[in-house]
Amino acid sequence: MSADTELTSHKEVAFDPDTYVSMYYSTVAGEVEEGEMLKFFLDGLNDAFKSGAITGAKLLDIGTGPTPHTTFCAAPWFDEITLSDFSQKNLEFLQKWKNGEVSHMGPIFEYLAQLDNTRSCVEERLDELRKKTKNVVHCDVTQSNPVSSTPVDGVVFDAITSSLCLEVASTTLEDYVKSVRNLSALLKPGGHLVLSGVLECTFYRVGNVKFKNIHITKDQLQDIYKKEGFEILSLKDLNENYAPHMDETYYSDFKNAFFMVAKKAEH
């Protein structure tokens, strides 16, 4: 398949976790063409969890990929963590990481530890995260029950985190709305959603494969989550405070990125 002539989806092509990590998560700076997007996401995770206001028994990360850093800041505030992904290769990678067979993204974890001024070393924090990670499960947000037939089928979570997932898993805005609804069903009333992603984007690459991404604006994003019963507590914009990126590069054509913390309605 030629990446330059054809877009594909995660359901059509096997994801390459090693290539993805090396392309996007080797350093906190990330790819220079993407500006400070990765730093923006990492700062957002620290800000969301540093106070301990988001806490509970069970946390679910949707679409973890091979990058479990999304739960690093949350780990001290939860008893059990579930990682999930659609790709079998990513699930195998995460299981190896959980078992201590994979050590990667050192600069990313070190940066997050520095942000929250932890007294524990990075290795201790990672040990805690691995111990609290009780499940690594298959997930498909396009299904009414994204975690059907897994060990967490039927579990309602206190919080859900997700990064760069829903806009890739969905093929249209209507599909995106359904995915939000499916995700919301896994979250208890009053539970928190911590979400990050790209805006106004149609593709991104992993190696020589060009993956589809739905085009969604900031206004559309806010409207969808409000209509699906979420109170948006904060919504940060990459372009407002961080180094700008090129409009279209080899890696992606995203125009902006967001970091959102929302709360599901109590009733």
Residues 6+ apart with CB under 8 A from 243: 35, 36
In whole angstroms, what is the distance from residue 265 CA to residue 267 CA? 5
As a whole number, mean pLDDT of residues 195-205 equals 93
Which parts of 206-260 fold into alpha helices (H)?
218-227, 238-241
Share of the chain above pLDDT 70, in %: 90
- pLDDT at 81 exceeding the cut of 80: yes
As a whole number, mean pLDDT of residues 5-23 equals 73
SS3 call for 180: helix
- pLDDT at 77 exceeding the cut of 90: yes
As a whole number, mean pLDDT of residues 87-95 equals 95
* pLDDT attached to residue 103: 86
* pLDDT attached to residue 30: 65
* pLDDT attached to residue 181: 97
Q: What is the pLDDT of residues 133-155, one digit of tens each?
A: 999 999 999 999 999 999 999 99
- pLDDT at 6 exceeding the cut of 70: no
| Residue 261, strand partner residues | 194, 234
* pLDDT attached to residue 94: 97
As a whole number, mean pLDDT of residues 205-222 equals 92
As a whole number, mean pLDDT of residues 76-84 equals 98
* pLDDT attached to residue 11: 61
As a whole number, mean pLDDT of residues 210-232 equals 96
For residue 48, what are the CA distances in angstroms to 58, 133, 194, 235, 261? Answer: 17, 20, 8, 11, 7
Q: Does domain 17-264 have CATH number 3.40.50.150?
A: yes
Block residue for tokens 């070190």: 110
- pLDDT at 97 exceeding the cut of 50: yes
First-residue to last-residue Cα distance in the chain: 48
**Domain spans, the chain:** 17-264
- Kindly report the average pLDDT of the chain as a whole number: 90
| Residue 194, strand partner residues | 161, 261
pLDDT band at 245 (very low <50, low <70, confident <90, very high): low
Q: Are 89 and 14 a contacting pair, CB within 8 Å?
A: yes
- pLDDT at 118 exceeding the cut of 60: yes
* pLDDT attached to residue 250: 80
Share of the chain above pLDDT 90, in %: 72
In whole angstroms, what is the distance from residue 46 CA to residue 41 CA? 9
Q: What is the pLDDT of residues 158-178, one digit of tens each?
A: 999 999 999 999 989 999 999
As a whole number, mean pLDDT of residues 206-235 equals 95
Q: What is the pLDDT of residues 16-66, one digit of tens each?
A: 899 989 889 988 876 666 668 999 999 999 999 999 999 999 999 999 999
* pLDDT attached to residue 121: 87
